[in-house]
Amino acid sequence: MPIDGLSENLTMPASCPPRAQRRTTMVVGPSFLRTAGAVAAKDLRVELRSREVVYTMTFFAAVIVVVFSFAFVKDQKALIEAVPGVAWAAVVFAGTIGLGRAFDREREGDTMRALLLSPAPRLAVFAGKTVAITALVIAVEAVVLPLCLLFFNVDLGAAVLHLALILALGALGFSVVGTVFAAMLLRVRSRDVLLPVVLYPILVPMIMAGTKATGALLAGATGDAWFWTQFLAAYDAVFVIVSLWTFEALVIE
Amino acid sequence: MKRFLVPLFALATAAGLAGTLYMIFYVTPLEKTLFFNQKIFYWHVPNWFVLFTTVFVCGVASAGYLKNRNPKWDDVARAAGELAVLFGAIGLVTGSIWGKAAWGHWWKWELRLTTSLILWLTMVGYVLVRRFGGAGSERLAAGLAVFGVVNVPLVYFAVKLADALQQESAHPKAQVVSALTSSMKTTFQLSILTFFAFYALLMLVRTSAIRDERRLRDLRERGLDAGILEP
Amino acid sequence: MPLSRVAVQKVGKRFGQHRALVGVDVELAAGEVCALLGPNGAGKSTLVGILSTLVRPSSGDVTYVEGDAARRADDRLRREIGLLAHASLCYGELTAVENLVFFAGLYGVAEPQARAHALLDQVGLDGKARERTVRTYSRGMVQRLALARALVADPSLLLLDEPFTGLDRGGALALGQRLGQARADGAIVVVVTHDLEAIAEVTDHVVILRRGQLVHVEKKRGFTYAELRDVYHRHAD
């Protein structure tokens, strides 16, 4: 058995180059952007392989839109005033489901631990996960938005692009705050119940601005809509900063 | 220190409450538009000052706890968080009563009400997390408190902007505070001092109770480890 | 720079009400395999967690020494640490190669593809299995992959929590051999295990924990199975 020989004799076998030499095959350290990109790409690849989160989230969001539009029907037509609330509720509720599931995946093999253990900057890991979640939420929005327009008989024309921007900003804000709390909740017992408890109060300004912006667009008040778009951007910026500042302290035991 | 401060604040609170009650009902004149209903203002407004203070204390103590992980910070944050739920509930109830009298509605989606409600919900979430989160929930709660405090101005501006765009704004403040007579002001100031004495008293007592609870648990565990105590 | 020494000083850890570790002192040196033993719930995995820097001790310190200088527990220190835990630390939806390439990227290893295949050769995970998703693997295959993942950046502090679980006799021998090689390379190796037979020959340092407390430390270059079993039963039971 080679084990015997090795335990007696500290000299290295010929097949094994000395440590210092093997070290030279490593580069200094992975950069922030490369790490974030790798983490996001990995998440999306996992998702593309099972499509579980995207399918269930989208279906759930679509059901919410249908149920709510039905609730707001008058003379066989759905009330257009209900559109902003319905659309944003669908996105936020479906997003919460997706967020929980996306982080369950990091729990299965305890891979969140592996991510935090790697020398890659933790904030890059956070950024990568946020990007992936944002992409998922945007995918859901891409279904919710046309559905809303269809069921509520809305014709937005070119303002659809502005609405897309508003929804994208909303998706980013949701993902930033959501990623921090979902990552923290990984080790907490009743995480499924507590995620909405901690997340929704913090999301209120975003939901408020999002619904107001959407409402303004539907009413043709472009000026107000831009105003709220800027507010959403500011919300995103504030919580990106706070999240970057607290993420590391929050996820380490 | 604590042995001296607790009776002091307790006395100040008792005297202050009695004093403000007397002044509210026997000294201050009736207000011109709301009449007797305006009197709730003397307790309602100082109560909100205390609420925002305790939320701020909770946020700062939580940030401190996240930074240096000293459980003493966490004790303060927890006490402040619990008191925020208490004072928030008092504020929402007194506010509703006043709202019914002033506007004819128990509730209105107006700037201060909405902001306070969101803030209160955040703090209820904080207490729920501490209660049901299990081991490790201190960090989560601390994170929520920090995010919650940052969120306050955002909520405030969001509601303010929404109101501004729709040209409505009518918190009782506009009709009331501008027209205070000097005896009203004195009563109001005395009431503010009273409420802060009350807050300081509750904070001291609750923080030390939480700290003692933690120390007792530590001691018990050490006793178990050393085999002195039976499990 | 590889680590030369790790000193655990008076380390305690509590999770809420539960005390997992109480005032533990351990000194780990390069080129030694430390067998961390003890009954279930003794705090072994917690100690491994603390050594991996992911669990903060509630009290006490861990000092990581590189050459003669102590190092701060920062991003660069984590490059020196390889961990094999109870869970696989790998993604079930990805293949073995994809997992290793991903982690090689996070560790900044050059030529991740080549590194992944070299590691899989080393741990004996061969051929077609490499291109299947990890979800389809047997327990033993997952364990081999987990070992390859722990070794991805050629760590100088190798933490193995129950590495023999699910391995067949051949796999256990190969792992024992790999531990011997890591020791010869001057790595610090910590192995938590119940499989005294598999670990005995390469063990230089026995640390026994019971109910979170250190109950026995013994240093000796290589044990026989009988010796190790004897030491264990004298102190752990």
For B72, residues 6+ apart whose C-beta sits below 8 A from its C-beta are: B211
- Those residues whose C-beta lies under 8 Å from the C-beta of residue B199, and which sit 6 or more positions away, are B50, B53, B54, B83, B87
Chain B residues within an 8 Å CB radius of C213: 225
Of C19, C56, C213, the CB nearest to B221: C19
Subunits in contact with chain A (3 or more CB pairs closer than 8 Å):
B, C
Q: Please give the pLDDT value at position A16.
A: 41
| DSSP 8-state class, residue A219 | T
pLDDT digits (tens, 9 = 90+) for A31-57: 889 999 999 999 999 999 989 899 999
DSSP string, chain B: -HHHHHHHHHHHHHHHHHHHHHIIIIISPPBTTTBGGGGGHHHHHHHHHHHHHHHHHHHHHHHHHHHH--HHHHHHHHHHHHHHHHHHHHHHHHHHHHHHHHHS-S----HHHHHHHHHHHHHHHHHHHHHHS-TTHHHHHHHHHHHHHHHHHHHHHHHHHHHHHTT----THHHHGGG--HHHHHHHHHHHHHHHHHHHHHHHHHHHHHHHHHHHHHHHHHHHHHT-S--
Indicate the residue of C75, C103, C222 with minimum beta-carbon distance to A114: C103
Structure tokens at B131: 């209660």
Long-range residue pairs from B104-112, CB within 8 A, at least 24 positions apart, any chain: B109/B159, B110/B159, B110/B163, B110/B168, B110/B169, B110/B170, B110/B171, B111/B156, B111/B159, B111/B160, B111/B163, B111/B169, B111/B171, B112/B48, B112/B171, B112/B173
Interface of B with C (CB under 8 A): 69, 134-136, 217, 221, 224-225
Closest CA to B130 of B222, B6, B213, B223: B213
Domain span at residue C140?
5-236
Residues of chain C with pLDDT under 50: none
The pLDDT of residue B192 is above 80? yes
Neighbours of chain B (3+ CB pairs under 8 A): A, C
Q: Which neighbouring-strand residues pair with C33? A: C189
C40 and B CB contact within 8 Å: no
Instruction: Judge: A205–B150 Cβ closer than 8 Å, yes or no.
Output: no
Q: Are B83 and B206 in contact (CB under 8 A)?
A: yes
How distant is the Cα of C158 from the closest Cα of chain A, in angstroms? 13
Q: How many CB atoms lie within 10 A of CB A51?
A: 10
Give the confidence band of A3 by pLDDT, cuts at 50, 70, 90: very low
CATH number at residue C105: 3.40.50.300
Q: From the CB of residue C73, how many other CB atoms can be counted at a distance below 10 Å?
A: 14
Distance from CA of C214 to the nearest CA of A (A): 22
Backbone torsion region of residue C162, taken as left when φ is above 0, otherwise alpha when ψ lies between -120 and 50, otherwise beta: left
Query: Which residue, among A24, A144, A46, has the nearest Cα to A88 in the 3D structure?
Result: A144
| Digit-coded pLDDT (tens) for A141-180 | 999 989 888 888 888 888 889 999 999 999 999 999 999 9
CA of C209 vs chain B CAs: smallest distance (Å): 14
Fill in the amino acid letter for C87: A
A177 inside domain: yes
**Chain C interface includes A34 (CB < 8 A):** yes
Integer CA distances (angstroms), C91 to A110, A111, B156, in order: 9, 7, 43
CA distance C17 to chain A (A): 15
Burial (CB < 10 A; 0-12, 13-18, 19+), residue C96, is: buried
Paired tokens of A117? 């253990």
Res A249: pLDDT: 86
What element of type H or E holds C100?
helix C96-106
Query: Distance between CA atoms of C55 and C159, rounded to whole angstroms?
Result: 14
Residue A18 lies inside a defined structural domain of this protein: no
Identify whether A26 is part of a domain: no
Q: Is C19 close to B225, i.e. CB distance below 8 A? A: yes
Q: What share of chain A is helix, strand, coil (3-state, %, to 5)?
A: 80, 0, 20
Task: Mark yes or no for CB contact C16/B135 under 8 Å.
Answer: yes
Q: Which residues of B touch C18 (CB under 8 A)?
A: 135
**Encoding tokens for residue C112?**
């991740």
C213 touches chain B (CB under 8 A): yes
Sign of CA dihedral C92, C94, C98, C103: negative
Touching partners of C (3+ C-beta pairs < 8 Å): A, B
- Minimal Cα–Cα distance from C154 to chain B, Å? 32
Q: How far is C162 from chain A (nearest CA, A)?
A: 15
Identify which of A215, A86, A58 has the alpha carbon closest to the alpha carbon of residue A142. Answer: A58
pLDDT of the residue at A202:
95
Contact yes or no for B82/B206 (Cβ under 8 A): yes
Q: Which structure tokens are listed for B58? A: 């909770």
Report the Cα A104 to chain-centroid distance in Å. Answer: 13
Taking an 8 Å cut-off on Cβ atoms, the answer to whether A34 and C89 are in contact is no
Q: What is the DSSP letter of A81?
A: G
How many Å apart are CA B2 and CA C8, to the nearest integer?
Answer: 39
Q: Which of C56, C87, C173 sits opposite A110 (nearest CB)?
A: C87
Say which DSSP state C130 is in: G
Chain C closest-CA separation from residue B106 CA (Å): 43
Residues of B in contact with A212 (CB under 8 A): 162, 165
- How far lies C59's CA from each of A227, B15, C23, C46, in Å? 51, 46, 8, 13
Query: In angstroms, rounded to a whole number, what is the distance separating the alpha carbons of residues C53 and C37?
Result: 20
Among A200, A205, A253, select the one facing B158 at the smallest CB separation: A205
This complex has an ipTM of 0.90
Q: Is A253 on the interface with C (CB under 8 A)?
A: yes
- Average pLDDT, integer, range B199-223: 89
Residue B174 has pLDDT above 80, yes or no: no
Nearest-neighbour CA in chain B from C25: distance (Å): 17
Beta bridge partners of C158: C82, C189
Whether residue A129 lies within 8 A of chain B, CB to CB, comes out as no
pLDDT in tens, C90-104: 999 999 999 999 999
Written as six digits, the tokens of A219 are: 């009413």
User: What domain range includes position A153?
Assistant: 31-251
Cβ contacts of A69 within 8 Å, gap of 6 or more: A78, A82, A86, A148, A151, A152
The total number of residues shown for chain C amounts to 237
Inform me whether the C-beta atom of residue A185 falls under 8 Å from chain B C-beta atoms.
Answer: yes
Percent of chain B with pLDDT over 70: 88
Closest CB from C15, C211, C213 relative to B135 = C15
**Euclidean distance between CA atoms A183 and A249, whole angstroms:** 12
Mutation target vs C (from B129, B139, B214, B221; most C CBs, 10 A cutoff): B221
Domain count, chain A: 1
Tell me the CA distances in angstroms from C42 to A113, C2, C236, one per residue in order: 21, 29, 9
Confidence of residue B200 (pLDDT cuts 50, 70, 90): very high
Neighbouring CB atoms inside 10 A of A229's CB total: 20
CB contact (8 A) between residue B143 and residue A212: no
Q: What is the pLDDT of residues A64-97, one digit of tens each?
A: 998 888 888 877 777 888 889 999 999 999 999 9
Q: Domain residue spans in chain B? A: 2-226
pLDDT classification of B225: cutoffs 50, 70, 90? low
Residue C105 structure tokens: 């990227």
Judged on CB neighbours under 10 Å (0-12, 13-18, 19+), A240 is: middle
pLDDT(B173) > 60: no
* Residue B168 pLDDT level (bands cut at 50, 70, 90): low
**Which has more pLDDT, B103 or C139?**
C139
**How confident is the model at residue A18, as a pLDDT?**
42
Asked if residue A181 belongs to a domain, the reply is yes
Q: Which residues contact A250 (CB under 8 A, 6 or more apart)?
A: A180, A183, A184, B66, B139, B140, B142, B143
- CA-to-CA separations, C96 to B53, C103, C167, in angstroms, rounded: 54, 11, 17
Q: Token digits for A6?
A: 């090795």
Q: Do A109 and C87 touch (CB under 8 A)?
A: yes
pLDDT at A22: 42
**Residue C132 three-state SS:** coil
Mapped onto helix, strand or coil, the DSSP state of residue C89 is coil
In a domain, A47, yes or no: yes
pLDDT of residue B179: 62
Give the angle subtended at the CA of A214 by the CAs of A208 and A215, to the nearest 5°.
Answer: 85
Closest residue in chain A to residue C221, using alpha carbons only? A7
Residue A23 has pLDDT above 80, yes or no: no
Question: Is B5 touching A (CB cutoff 8 A)?
Answer: no
Residue A43 falls inside a structural domain:
yes
**pLDDT per residue over A113-149, tens digit each?**
999 999 988 899 999 999 999 999 999 999 998 988 8
Task: Report how many domains make up chain C.
Answer: 1
* C36, β-bridge pairs: C192, C207
* Closest by CA position to C102, among listed A86, A128, A90: A128
Out of C2, C105, C201, closest to residue A4 by CB: C201
